[in-house]
Amino acid sequence: MSLFNKAMGRAKRDYWRWKYHRVARQILGTRPLEPGVLPFTLLSMVHQRDVSSYLVAVKSFAHFLNPAKIVVVCDPSIDHADRAVLKRHLPHVELREAHEFVHPDIPRGGTWERLFAIAHYVEDSYVVQLDADTLTVRPVPEVLDAVRNGTGFVLGEMPDTPIRSLQATRENALPWLAPWAHVQAIAETEMVNVGLPQDARYIRGCSGFTGFPRSSTMRDTMTDYSRRMGAKLGDNWKRWGTEQVTSNYLVSNMPGVQPLPFPKYGTPDCATADTAFYHFIGSMRFINNKYEAASRHAIRLINSAPA
């Protein structure tokens, strides 16, 4: 790609980012969220650059399913002003520090602290993990059913995303192996070789929106899995993406887990008129006006709620 094309691509991203943030900041003019009564914890890890985005994400989700508890694991970038904004809009939020959720057997950074926080809260409550780059624009009854039934869910990447054995997971990932392979493919080919239970399963989902049933063993399972994978992959296990692999493994082996229907829940490139939940992953965030338009729609929904 020529320097000119790179510059043009960067300029377009900056333009769409500017338009998006102009809309997202409108969330600061909405009413504070009232505490909900649904029996689950909504947990997110938030960076300073994503405070407004997170408020759109959490308020749009709570417009349809308002949880009894909201937890934010604060990235170290979150300062006193950010905390004041979060508390003003979510008066009942529980703010925790990322450094509270570390362990010698798991990597640090890359949202690992978020997953370890989930392992803490899931001892007493169903936990829904919600990324800041998500939007909920229609009812999500599948999520409510999972919470009520105590079953796990995961955001899939295709219709009928399969839950595979570890051997089938390896066979599925082998074609992606190359010297430059993403660590997710590397991990998926090797997890069958680290001594995990023979009946263990795995789903190739996205950790950005996941439902974890109550569990007294998730913490131990998580640290054991990380120890085994770290011993096998070495420094590769510290790369970005290993938290998602671990999240997928953990939820796959919880009761009744199911992938959410796709593309009712999915990325904007696959959206239809029936899409209820969007995940604007990085490569799809600022390439057009879709994130801006969906956020504008979500904020209208939030403002339409009765006082």
Q: How far is 239 from 183, CA to CA, in rounded Å? A: 7
On average, the pLDDT of the chain sits at 95
Cα(20)–Cα(224) distance, rounded to whole angstroms?
Answer: 41
Q: Which pTM value belongs to this model?
A: 0.95
Confidence of residue 283 (pLDDT cuts 50, 70, 90): confident
Residue 179: predicted pLDDT:
81
Residues 149-198 have pLDDT tens digits of: 999 999 988 888 899 999 999 999 999 988 888 999 999 999 999 999 99
Q: Which residues contact 280 (CB under 8 A, 6 or more apart)?
A: 133, 134, 135, 267, 268, 290, 291, 294
Residue 9 has pLDDT above 90, yes or no: no
Q: What is the pLDDT of residue 5?
A: 75
The CATH class that applies to domain 3-160+205-215+255-304 reads: alpha beta
Where are the chain's structural domains? Answer: 3-160+205-215+255-304
Name residue 172's amino acid.
N
**Could you give the CA distance from residue 61 to residue 10 in angstroms, rounded to a whole number?**
31
Q: What is the pLDDT of residue 178?
A: 85
Question: Once rounded to an integer, what is the mean pLDDT over residues 235-259?
Answer: 96
Q: How many helices (H) and strands (E) does the chain have?
A: 10, 12
Residue 1's pLDDT band, with cuts at 50, 70 and 90, is: low
Report phi then psi at 135, rounded to 5. Answer: -140, 140
